Structure 1
């Protein structure tokens, strides 16, 4: 795939031209206050039988949006005797927490690892265990167009809230040091990692590879690849609703949340990425008041960005940042 977006020199200064929604801070404060008030149960953490000999695994349930029960895996390096820095791992579009042996990367690097399920997902590239009991109006396939009739109905309002509540839950898990928490993810998971860092002061570091939900309005003009292609299809049917829909989605656009990110930040981007176009990602980067400590640019890569090279670099960066 040839490069299709702005030249790198322009990307380094590009800003999302859309205005921040009026009352965005109050919208998220109300959302999170309501979620915390709706919880009727606490964090549950029970041992999981896995057959693994290097990692201790626990099946976790914690209250998310609306008090809904969210599933997660809690993984600790076997033999750990002190409180460990925590990596909260958020997942890509369509994926769920899967099975424990699929997600051993961070525990193998010596971190406590919380693998957070994505509500209503987990049937595309691995399995999930958390339903989304909230309905929405007419929507296209996938998640991006669910609830686009009103900011309060957005699917991603619920999912981002779940991730913020995962940060809340860390302090109730055995072996965790809640002062050293990082949020990490690729694609959708990267968007969730950055959003959590913007909305929770307890995030000490955040890292996103090729993050989704950055510059949504521009992305849907540049690519018809999913998931943004789902939005393009919806707008092709709802022909007169484009501006209303994009204004609703602005409430979950990471480039509008990025000014609230104060912790050390690591981001990776592929310049041929048609899934999450680079200009949207740079729009989020350039909105951050604290320049990310690491911006890794891959000129010849797409949505995988740096792939395993990024994984190795990020492990070193998080070790230096959190330990």
Structure 2
């Protein structure tokens, strides 16, 4: 097998390159305290899209800093007893997708909550207000401001808040709330289960937003990570602040949230991935202390992985 990264035996022992801020735990404890003080003001509006077997709603809630966040909510029609729910997260710059994509879960008796990330392709609000550069990307939004203003901090908190909403729905069994997504969605799946540890199972697919310095050192700050290169070229062309930049990015580096996960993990990785390199994903996976399993696709990159969707559904049904 050709290699784009380390051999598998080294990946299994890899512990990451990006620095972990000394106050990382205090940072996220402070963030969660801010989240708990928010009145979510939940609103559900029936969607214009409806089907005979499922009810579809536009769900809105208030996140940190006052942003109104949108999610699609699909629940099986006529199911009275508490049933499982899955929260779904989309890829970078995208949105929650078509309603029809959630019907396979609804047909199996699951409710589905699919979030639009603030400021990306869906209907969630980006309230802005950050100092410094906002050019080309959300990873670098807030790098020139206080770390509490990093945009992905807020997005991670939105995922936890959505899971909390799911856990509180009267029709949902709180012992069967799960999370899934690919790329950015895989990253947000990890963030969700780390910040809301009552999530019982999670299935991240080649997660983004792990081990930023490793991406940089592999010269793969392109595609999804291109904004790292753009940031340095425009705002720190001599790299005088390189150490500071990567340490600040450490606050939103998911490898350092991974050990907070308490739910069972089924993760998928393509060994030919040059968008989210395998080593960055292993940096997070290797720090998970909860029950976990990794499905490796030796010949696949950042693309559709055959059978991954079926294995995810089977995992949630088990």
What is the TM-score with the length of structure 2 in the denominator? 0.92
What is the Cα deviation at residue 5 of structure 1?
0.5
Q: How many residues were matched structurally?
A: 312
In 1, the alpha carbon distance for the partners of 2:173 and 2:58 equals 19
Do the aligned residues in 2 keep the contact of 1:44 with 1:60 (CA within 8 Å)?
Answer: yes
Shift of 1:38: 3.2
Q: Deviations over 1:119-149 (max 9, x none)?
A: 0001xxxxx1112012332133122211112
- Displacement of 1:18 in angstroms is 3.8
Match of 1:210 in 2: 206
2: distance between equivalents of 1:34 and 1:288? Answer: 25
Q: Is this contact kept in 2: 1:298–1:305, CA < 8 A? A: no
Q: Does 1:57 align with 2:51?
A: no
Structure 1 residues 18 and 144: alpha-carbon distance in aligned structure 2, compared to 1, 3 A threshold: closer
Q: Report deviation, 1:178.
A: 2.1
Deviations 1:67-114 (A, max 9, x none): 422111111123322211110001110111244224434323331110
Question: Is contact 1:214-1:281 (8 Å) kept?
Answer: yes
- Which residue number corresponds to residue 148 of structure 2? 152
Q: Measure the CA separation in 1 of the matches of 2:136 and 2:193.
A: 28
Cα deviation for residue 2 of structure 1 reads 4.8
Using the size of structure 1 for normalisation, the TM-score is: 0.91
Q: Which runs of 5+ in 1 are unaligned?
A: 123-127
SS in 2 for 1:38: coil
Shift of 1:19: 4.0
In structure 2, the partner of 1:29 is 29
Give 5+ residue unaligned stretches, structure 2.
none
Distance 1:231 1:259, change over 3 A: same
Native 8 Å contact 1:62 1:169 kept in 2:
no
In the TM superposition, what whole-angstrom CA distance separates every residue of 1:171-227 from its partner, at most 9, and x where no partner exists? 443521222211111011111111111111221111100000111110122213322
Contact 2:85/2:111 (<8 A) preserved: yes
Structure 1 runs of 4+ off > 4 angstroms?
none
Name the SS of the counterpart of 1:255 in structure 2.
Answer: helix
Q: Distance in 2 between matches of 1:139 and 1:67?
A: 19
Q: Which residue number corresponds to residue 194 of structure 1?
A: 190
Q: 1:291 to 1:8 in 2, by over 3 A?
A: farther
The CA distance in 1 between the partners of 2:114 and 2:182, in whole Å, is 13
Secondary structure at the residue paired with 1:287?
Answer: coil
Task: Give distance in 2, aligned partners of 1:316 and 1:102.
Answer: 17
Q: How does 1:172-321 map to 2 (within 5 A)?
A: 172-222=168-218, 223-237=220-234, 238-239=236-237, 240-292=240-292, 294-304=293-303, 306=305, 308-320=306-318
